[in-house]
Amino acid sequence: MDSPKVKRIAKIPEWLKELKLQKAGIGIYCRVSTSEQRQLRSLSNQITSLIKTVQGWDCLPYLKDVYVDIYTGTSENKRPEFNRMLDDVKAGRIKIVVVKSIQRFGRNTVTVMSAINDIRHAGGYVYFEVENLDTKTAANDNIITIIGGTSQEESYFKSKSIKFGIRESLKNPNSRLYNRCCYGYWSYDGKMIPKVLESEYVKDIFNYYKYGCSLYGIARKLEERGIPSPSGKKVWRTKTIENILKNEKYTGNVIVKSVIKNPQTGEERYFKALHHHEGIISQELFDEVQKIFVKRSNMELGPDGKMRRKNTHYSSKKRQFE
């Protein structure tokens, strides 16, 4: 004998009974912040749960569409499905929007209430499953505002938590933030290891510049030698050369600019990991090249604090050391 099947029975809200008689169209709206596997599972669970809710109301035939947004941040601009859902309500295609929770509907009170009002003016309603709230009941407005404010606060503290995590990671020299490879290195077991040929090319680039060759001249020399650029192209750009010459990673040290500014001064923070990996050039050669950069620069700081061109001109396009 087959095992009896268990059917989920949802209590039909009073406000829905009239709309059910009208065979009003229903739409489901779901949102997650990223496309990571864990978030995608959450999205699948949201959709399944809400479909079961509609099915429990015995309204599955009236389910017209499922709207899904995957976006990051507190901005509401990257929600095409949210906007499509609003358009469908205004067009009369759907009248009831079912959402898992207010937090999934919007990250701040203004967005939540604005969308609710737009839907209400179009003759539609929103139902939030977790909070068991519906916008057809006017008394719920105050509760929605409170919960919407809570969602905004949660988003704020989540942002602070992420920043704290980054700040703590920067204090750890073994953090992956320090292990991003650049030209001349490859990654093995989370560590930066010099590549045999490319590391020699890096040394040549620094020595070329030290002994008078311009950025343009270095690029031409590498091209003449048939050395491919970091992107694998035959042509080297002067900006690529400049980035290599200014990258302290080639000394074995790593400087990381934090995305978090000093709260007291507003200044950008920098974190430095000394002797992080095997260097390709010496610290002395790197420092000497930086001094040459300043000397060759065609800009200087004036007495008034503004940058202006020097009287003497150094062109990075002039061919030297040839």
Catalytic residues: 33
Please choose, from the candidates 208, 199, 198, the residue with its C-alpha nearest in 3D space to the C-alpha of residue 232: 198
Question: 168: Cβ–Cβ under 8 A, 6 or more apart, which residues?
Answer: none
Angle at 290 between CA 226 and CA 180, to 5 degrees: 65
Give the largest CA-CA distance in the chain: 98
CA pair distance 181, 195, nearest whole angstrom: 11
CA pair distance 228, 225, nearest whole angstrom: 9
Please choose, from the candidates 66, 20, 75, 24, the residue with its C-alpha nearest in 3D space to the C-alpha of residue 46: 66
Question: 286: Cβ–Cβ under 8 A, 6 or more apart, which residues?
Answer: 206, 248, 250, 251
Question: Residues 178, 258: contact at Cβ < 8 Å?
Answer: no
CA pair distance 77, 26, nearest whole angstrom: 24
User: DSSP labels for 178-209?
Assistant: G----TTEEEETTEEEE-HHHHHHHHHHHHHH
